[in-house]
Structure 1
Amino acid sequence: MTKMAFVFPGQGAQYPGMGKELATRYRGSRSVFEQVDHELGFPLSELCFNGPEADLKLTENTQPAILTMSIAAWQALTDEGVQPDFVAGHSLGEYSALVASGALPLVEAVQLVRGRGRYMQEAVPVGQGAMAAILGMPPERVDAVCREAAQGMVVSPANLNTLEQTVIAGHIEAVQRAGALAKVRGAKRVLTLPVSAPFHCALMQPARERLALDLEAAVFADLSVPLITNVDADVIMTAEQARDALCRQVTSPVRWLESVQRMAELGVSTFVEVGPGKALTGMIRRILPEAIVFNVEDEKSLMAFMAICHV
């Protein structure tokens, strides 16, 4: 029996206008935005629907905005009777996945990611950290390049996205050294990413410590749908495992490649990216060319997916 996974995007997927059509057309999606607006005390929905883009890009807004939009899309799918066998999320998307799994109430998740965004932003002074995408080099070789380039500084794989794409993070000088060395060692391209902090590396330890206090105070439940974690690329089912995974995630690489491979091992052949953009859709197609992959972010994409479901 083939299985289906819902996967949820992370930071960078946002765009002005996201969720507007869903909120207009679907009562459940509209209710999600209304809940979050009430919880935050300001109209996040307006920022999602109309921008401006500059405000939407601010980390403390971006993280709750993507989470809310993703859950609005998930609610539309749920209201149509679609249930996944597994869930997973890329970085920030893991919070969306935990809401979808029943482990975390939406309003709790929104407050957690708002703090998470602020803590990650404040962990490293602006201009001291960087991230870069290494293209056309296997993950294990990128790891070796980082070790060689570190020279007492921090630089390490942060997002292991596909066999051909690994994002590195750390001190800006070390990231630059690693990028230059990767080119010498055969990488096709090195792209410096326009991010405000070096996420998912040891420099995020101050953010991890602050977030740990929030996670300890948050109310988690055991999961009703199995989740594949970023940190271990394996299944969790308990509240304590979820709390631990979110804490460790801040300073650990996102093992997306291994997570997708693990879901395939568990029988998943259909993946639905739930939320803004198609970044994960593209990655999954590169990892598993034979997989059936959809994205659901508006009425058109939802209807296209539902048409296939009813065949």
Structure 2
Amino acid sequence: MSVAFIFPGQGSQHPNMLHELPKHPEVDRTIKEASYVLGRDALELDTKDALLSTVAVQLALLISGVALARVLRYEDAAPDIVAGHSIGSFSAAVVSGALDFVDAVSLVELRGKLMEQSYPKDYGMGVIVGLDEMRVSILTEQVNSVNDPVYIANINTYDQITIAGRLSAIEKVFALASSMGAHKTKILNVSVPSHCELLSGVSKEIASKLAAISLNNPNTLFVGNCRARVLRNAEDICKDLSDGVANTVRWHDSATLMYERGVRLFIELGPGETLTNMAKKEFKDARCISALNSGIESSCILIKREREK
């Protein structure tokens, strides 16, 4: 059996999330490296006011995920495979050995700024629970127009789909979804219409930045966001990181792929339990935990037990 490290995306953040990381030399090292690149104290990113910025949120999630993974590796508890949801894919790329953390910090800072500037108001994301991808796709195609764009953004589980676009269009899709039997619809606390063609310009600028950075072939299996496949070389990972912001996150397919490859222990590295709860719902015979909530010691014990099976 094998172990997966999974890294959450935007929406899982909360105030003081960086200050709640365990006291450990690897956490201190990660904070120090990020602060050097940013030219300011990275611990200032997790205040309530700071987290109103997409830039701060994405940086805080990157730092949190990498710091926790480094702690576990230090304790001889490494993963067999890694994957991240949206911005979490940058943490996964670092942990896989494909992307240097210093480069990831500058990339994520740029990504956040570009996204924040792209659609300053009237756009966002919403989630529909209770309908599958095919049904939601029909609804978005019915509503989508030049003036009221809306697209599928994330496929989180088979019946939890996130959509992105103009808020007025999202509300129209919600009304149709409710009439078709959706259990829940909710506007998310995200001000950018991520993971759809509205951010194709942002994707191109990230690709240009990545072209100037040297990536490596991963030393740990890396699962991409866009195709939900294991990516084994630097070129494919580079493309997935740049394309991801303007393409659907196929998280359900990514998690299923890891399960089919023998993963029976999913460990979420970051705040909250969003991905943990998704995995628990999908894979009844797998163990799914949050490293922060379960604790580093318990996470290490579970990883080492899984190795012995």
Q: TM-score, normalised by structure 2?
A: 0.94
Task: Tell me if structure 1 keeps the 8 A contact 2:7–2:92.
Answer: yes
Tell me by how many angstroms 1:309 deviates. Answer: 4.0
| Counterpart for residue 32 of structure 2 | 34
Task: Tell me if structure 2 keeps the 8 A contact 1:22–1:30.
Answer: no
Task: Tell me if structure 1 keeps the 8 A contact 2:229–2:257.
Answer: yes
When the two structures are aligned, how many residues end up with a matched partner? 304
Unaligned runs of 5+ in 2: none
User: What code does the residue aligned with 1:136 have?
Assistant: G
Tell me by how many angstroms 1:122 deviates. Answer: 1.6
- Note the 1:136-155 alignment, pairs <5 A: 136-152=130-146, 153-155=148-150
| Counterpart for residue 281 of structure 1 | 276
Task: Tell me if structure 1 keeps the 8 A contact 2:153–2:163.
Answer: yes
For residue 144 of structure 1, give the secondary structure of its aligned residue in structure 2.
Answer: helix
Percent identical pairs in the alignment equals 34
| Counterpart for residue 301 of structure 2 | 307
Instruction: Give a deviation string over 1:48-103, Cα, whole Å, max 9, x none.
Output: 3xx2x121231111111110111111111000001111100000000000000011
For residue 83 of structure 1, give the secondary structure of its aligned residue in structure 2.
Answer: coil
| Counterpart for residue 161 of structure 2 | 166
Tell me by how many angstroms 1:117 deviates. Answer: 0.7
User: What code does the residue aligned with 1:288 have?
Assistant: F
Q: 2: distance between equivalents of 1:163 and 1:66?
A: 25
2:210 to 206, 215, 222: 215
Q: 2: distance between equivalents of 1:17 and 1:27?
A: 19
Q: 1: distance between equivalents of 2:55 and 2:16?
A: 18
Task: Tell me if structure 2 keeps the 8 A contact 1:134–1:166.
Answer: yes
For residue 121 of structure 1, give the secondary structure of its aligned residue in structure 2.
Answer: helix
Query: Structure 2 vs 1, CA of residues 307 and 266 (structure 1 numbering), >3 Å: closer, same or farther?
Result: closer
Q: 2: distance between equivalents of 1:61 and 1:130?
A: 17
For residue 167 of structure 1, give the secondary structure of its aligned residue in structure 2.
Answer: strand
Tell me by how many angstroms 1:211 deviates. Answer: 1.4
Q: 1: distance between equivalents of 2:243 and 2:301?
A: 39
Task: Tell me if structure 1 keeps the 8 A contact 2:265–2:287.
Answer: yes
Matched, 1:266 2:261: yes
Q: 2: distance between equivalents of 1:263 and 1:187?
A: 28
Q: 2: distance between equivalents of 1:103 and 1:308?
A: 26
For residue 49 of structure 2, give the secondary structure of its aligned residue in structure 1.
Answer: helix
User: What code does the residue aligned with 1:276 have?
Assistant: P
Tell me by how many angstroms 1:106 deviates. Answer: 0.6
Over aligned residues, Cα RMSD in angstroms? Answer: 1.5
Q: 1: distance between equivalents of 2:83 and 2:65?
A: 12
User: What code does the residue aligned with 2:14 have?
Assistant: Y
Tell me by how many angstroms 1:294 deviates. Answer: 1.5
Instruction: Give a deviation string over 1:113-160, Cα, whole Å, max 9, x none.
Output: 111011111222412x22111111112211111111214442111110
Instruction: Give a deviation string over 1:208-254, Cα, whole Å, max 9, x none.
Output: 12212111112211111111111001000111001110111111111
Matched, 1:98 2:96: no
Matched, 1:7 2:6: yes
| Counterpart for residue 65 of structure 1 | 60
Q: Which moved more, 1:90-99 or 1:141-150?
A: 141-150
